[in-house]
Structure 1
Amino acid sequence: MSSLIRSHPLTAFFTLACALSWLGWLNYVLSNQGLGVIDTDYPAVLGTTQLLGVLPGAYLGPIGSALIVTAVTDGRAGLRAWAGRLFRWRVGARWYAVALLAVPAGLLVVGAVFAGGRIAAPTLLGAYLPVLVLQLVTTGLAEEPGWRDFALSRLQQRYSPLKSAAILGPVWAVWHYPLFLTDWAEGNRGWAGLLAFTVFCVSFNVVMSWMFNRTNESLPLSMLMHVSVNTFVSVLWPDLFPSLAGVAIPVMSVGSVVAALAIIAVTRGRLGRPAVERPSVPAERHAAPLHSR
């Protein structure tokens, strides 16, 4: 098993991330909050069953798999490098503004367009920051050390940034699929919701890749950008756009596709990753003179 992981670290990570999380979610999927196969109810904590139903499997998957595969393939040195990006907070202030404000601003614009300019006053604005912090240590910490810190970093060592994003985005989406059988996907179940969510993951992963590269692979900034989406949609979206409550994911996917295409165009597909400089080769080479003894 160790030899197999060393030979195919990315395949091993993707397989373990999905397998461990899906195993951790199995009881939740079968419970009354899912398919109702077993007569089990998950209690609501802070108004949601997801903390007890989703979070254990989320922690088992991406971050747990990244820890296992890094330890097997790179040992202690690799673990230090992997964990080091988690504490890479020293990034320009403008990138914190992008992570914290650009996503809500973008969602506000796209929501207003689809709502015909009708924006209601938010009643839970004071809950935004506490929920953001909670999301940071739950969703952000569970996912980003795996998807971006481990997978994206390794993918970009082998492939172009755009190809790396194209590989990671669908896997990130598929990892979520079992949750569409539970109340996690309330209002977005069915093939239409699944397709819209997949489009969102694939396109928003381009945005996340750009942020990761532009901030020198700072994991905290990736976490902040990720949870900015979750927090805005869960706290502010229902109040701001009551007419769009049931179509949040499709609307978000449109905005995400526009943002991804803009980033691809502006960066020419580099997604913020510096081009590798190749050593210059002289235009003309002269044969070395032959010396006779």
Structure 2
Amino acid sequence: MEQTHDSSGRLARFVDSHPVVAFFAVAFAYSWAVFGVLFAAVGSETLGDSRLWQIPFAWGPLAGALVVGHVRHGDARTWLESVADPRTGLRWYALAAVVAFLYADAGHVAAALAGVAVTPLPLEDVAFDFAVTLAVAGSIEEFGWRGFAQPHLQERYDALRGAIVVGVAVGIWHYPWLLLAGEGYEEAGIGALLALPFLMVLMAVIFAWLFNGSGGAIPVVMLGHAVFNATPAFEFVADGPGWAAALGLLVWLGLLVGLPLVFGREYLAPRSPGTLFSGKES
């Protein structure tokens, strides 16, 4: 009995001393366990043809934040209520939606302005993907990635380095997806092992800007995540121009370079997110 108490005490001390490491451990363990059980139960092809599994998979980062918060403070509700507060400037919601939209659709918009034929995808499909992501799937990840990991890393590093750490971790967290057949995953190849962290670093820097700039409002970043997952909202009627496919990526690369230059590396934003949102005790 005493040995069990000592073990739990050591675990609590480790979590208290290394909250970000503990958070990543729980987030990865939860999500990868969900994937592993479903993969073993139904197989690669069946799992790849469905996206329902992505809902419980996406809850890992929130679970990690709640577990670490409970171990450290006995109650994570105060943190959850603070980051879930939607009150911030409306411009941050607009920026989140526009920037996320541009990644997949900047090329379609620019090509349409140049006279290339573009057609919208079915509105009901885009709206469904947006609603599911926002309510129960990918956007829920943001409570962990931006609501917990980013501000805690900003206690020790500047926001830029913190975002890079988060982005690499999020990219690796997605690696089980590469085991799937269907949905094009089997064609991703070895390059996806590098492409996923690279794309997630771009997203992490932009989302750190949105999070810090909005004063730590997770609903802003959740909106951006939902728009990102629901797009593209358009497609070319015939083959589009070669430059269009890369335009959204170039926009995000421009933000990767421009945000630190304009706002500095410390917060990537016009202001500090505040003590509560930087992971410090208030």
User: Which residue of 166, 169, 174 maps to 1:168?
Assistant: 166
| More deviation, 191-200/5-14 | 191-200
TM-score (norm 1): 0.76
Say if 2:200 is the partner of 1:190: no
The 2-side partners of 1:10 and 1:105 are apart by 31
Change (3 A) 1:253 1:201: farther
The 1-side partners of 2:204 and 2:170 are apart by 8
Partner of residue 258, structure 2: 262
Do the aligned residues in 2 keep the contact of 1:121 with 1:240 (CA within 8 Å)? yes
The 2-side partners of 1:242 and 1:83 are apart by 47
Do the aligned residues in 2 keep the contact of 1:85 with 1:219 (CA within 8 Å)? no
Partner of residue 285, structure 1: none
Partner of residue 225, structure 1: 224
Deviations along 1:188-237, one digit per CA (max 9) or x if unpaired, are: 5212233222211011110000000010000101100111111113xx25
Partner of residue 51, structure 2: 50
The alignment covers a number of residue pairs equal to: 259
Change (3 A) 1:123 1:228: closer
Partner of residue 209, structure 2: 210
Say if 2:145 is the partner of 1:147: yes
Deviations along 1:28-54, one digit per CA (max 9) or x if unpaired, are: 4446652x6xxxx45x9xxx6111x22
Say if 2:94 is the partner of 1:97: yes
Partner of residue 287, structure 1: none
Say if 2:25 is the partner of 1:15: yes
Deviation at 1:160, TM superposition (A): 0.9
Do the aligned residues in 1 keep the contact of 2:62 with 2:140 (CA within 8 Å)? yes
| More deviation, 19-28/119-128 | 119-128
- Aligned AA (1:67): L
What RMSD over aligned residues (CA atoms) do the two structures have, in Å?
3.2
| More deviation, 264-273/141-150 | 264-273
Do the aligned residues in 2 keep the contact of 1:203 with 1:253 (CA within 8 Å)? no
- Aligned AA (1:94): R
The 2-side partners of 1:132 and 1:57 are apart by 17
Partner of residue 277, structure 2: none
Say if 2:64 is the partner of 1:87: no
| More deviation, 212-221/121-130 | 121-130
Question: Structure 1: which 5+ residue stretches go unaligned?
Answer: 277-293
The 2-side partners of 1:133 and 1:242 are apart by 29
Do the aligned residues in 1 keep the contact of 2:102 with 2:248 (CA within 8 Å)? no
| More deviation, 112-121/133-142 | 112-121
What SS does the aligned partner of 1:64 have? helix
TM-score (norm 2): 0.79
The 2-side partners of 1:121 and 1:130 are apart by 18
Partner of residue 120, structure 1: 118
| More deviation, 156-165/248-257 | 248-257
Change (3 A) 1:69 1:88: same
Change (3 A) 1:175 1:106: closer
What SS does the aligned partner of 1:121 have? strand
Deviations along 1:123-180, one digit per CA (max 9) or x if unpaired, are: 4134433431221012244301111111111111221111111211100111001111
User: Which residue of 3, 8, 15 maps to 1:5?
Assistant: 15
Deviation at 1:81, TM superposition (A): 3.1
Which gives a bigger RCO, structure 1 or 2 (Cα 8 Å, sep 6+)? 2
Do the aligned residues in 2 keep the contact of 1:196 with 1:253 (CA within 8 Å)? no
| More deviation, 260-269/116-125 | 116-125
| More deviation, 170-179/116-125 | 116-125
Percent of aligned positions that are identical: 27
Deviation at 1:100, TM superposition (A): 2.0
